[in-house]
């Protein structure tokens, strides 16, 4: 018996949400169970990396440039009012690398890739292409889901590094035009307090975001039922759910990263 039949009204919506959450968790478990098993679709994985990376390159570049320029313009007036304009490069680097760059880049990619993955896989489901592959024992889960998840997990950090780089360059050009700041002063000040651990953790957390986008979009597309209308709804839900989970995951990752290390115990 489906849970949605047990509770009317709001209870039905709650039960439906719980049921979908359970199905998504089961789908994630199925991914990890099948990830290690052949066939290994290397060619399709590389093609998906190209789809995620090369074809998102311009979008990520424009996003990074806009972030850097706008943040520099918005922050300059506030810092100048307190006589702290010299701290602009460092504040810009900390804001972009630690939070704004990873989250904005992932949200932009969620909008582009989430809808695309959900619609593509959903269209294959409603046209019975996936059913045909399953009947032919060709393991469509590996070909359609595993390849896209792996591609997103690997490419999201790469695109984040690129977006952060472009954002800092944009911030420098704004500083050059506004105050004539020398590039050596700008970048020396910008990275004076950035540690490698900060760069590594805050960049690699986008692998989690990439996993979220790919697995949620694949789940919604893989399990769509109906026709073209349902495919469109699945694509829309993929963007919305992925974006919400990215923000939630970011809160969790930041909270964990800020936790103090456990006190060391020494034997006396």
Instruction: Note whether 150 and 53 are within 8 A (CB).
Output: no
In a domain, 258, yes or no: no
pLDDT exceeds cutoff 90 at 58: yes
Range of the domain at 141: 62-252
Number of domains in the chain: 1
DSSP state of 268: -
Weakest-pLDDT range from 180-189, 204-213, 251-260: 251-260
Weakest-pLDDT range from 9-18, 63-72, 129-138: 9-18
pLDDT exceeds cutoff 50 at 23: yes
* pLDDT given at position 193: 84
In a domain, 209, yes or no: yes
pLDDT exceeds cutoff 50 at 268: no
In a domain, 2, yes or no: no
**DSSP states along 209-267:** HHHHHHHHHHHHHHT--SSHHHHHHHHHHHHHHHHHHHHHHHHHHHHHHTSPPPPP---
In a domain, 41, yes or no: no
In a domain, 174, yes or no: yes
Local confidence band at 157 (pLDDT 50, 70, 90 cut-offs): very high
| Host H or E run for residue 198 | helix 196-222
In a domain, 263, yes or no: no
**105-119 confidence digits (pLDDT tens):** 999 999 999 999 999
In a domain, 104, yes or no: yes
* pLDDT given at position 265: 59
* pLDDT given at position 7: 42
Percentage, residues of the chain above pLDDT 90: 56
How many angstroms separate the CA atoms of 70 and 161, rounded? 19
Unique residue bearing structure tokens 């893989």: 222
Q: Please compute the mean of the pLDDT values over residues 183-199 and round it to a whole number.
A: 87
Local confidence band at 264 (pLDDT 50, 70, 90 cut-offs): low
Q: Which residues contact 183 (CB under 8 A, 6 or more apart)?
A: 172, 176
* pLDDT given at position 104: 94
In a domain, 155, yes or no: yes
pTM: 0.88
**210-232 confidence digits (pLDDT tens):** 999 999 999 999 988 888 888 99
């Amino acid at each position: 018996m489906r849970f949605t039949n047990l509770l009317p009204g709001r209870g039905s919506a709650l039960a439906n949400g719980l049921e979908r959450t359970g199905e998504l968790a089961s789908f994630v478990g199925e991914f990890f169970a099948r990830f290690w098993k052949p066939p290994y679709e290397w060619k399709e994985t590389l093609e998906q990396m190209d789809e995620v990376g090369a074809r998102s390159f311009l979008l990520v570049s424009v996003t990074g440039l806009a972030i850097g320029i706008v943040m520099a313009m918005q922050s300059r007036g506030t810092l100048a009012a307190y006589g702290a304009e010299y701290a602009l490069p460092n504040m810009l680097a900390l804001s972009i690398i630690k939070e704004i760059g990873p989250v904005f880049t992932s949200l932009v990619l969620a909008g582009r890739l989430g809808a695309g993955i959900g619609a593509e896989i959903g269209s294959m489901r409603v046209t019975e292409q996936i059913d045909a592959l399953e009947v032919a024992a060709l393991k469509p889960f590996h070909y359609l889901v595993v390849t896209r998840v792996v591609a997103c997990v690997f490419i999201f950090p790469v695109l984040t590094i690129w977006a952060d780089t472009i954002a800092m360059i944009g911030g420098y050009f704004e500083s050059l035009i506004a105050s004539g700041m020398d590039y050596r002063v700008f970048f020396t000040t910008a990275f004076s307090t950035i540690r490698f651990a900060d760069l590594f953790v805050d960049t690699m957390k986008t692998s989690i975001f990439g996993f979220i986008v790919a697995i949620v979009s694949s789940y919604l597309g893989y399990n769509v039922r109906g026709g073209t209308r349902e495919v469109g709804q699945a694509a829309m839900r993929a963007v919305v759910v992925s974006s919400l989970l990215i923000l939630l995951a970011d809160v969790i990752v930041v909270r964990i990263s800020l936790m103090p290390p456990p006190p060391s115990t020494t034997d006396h």
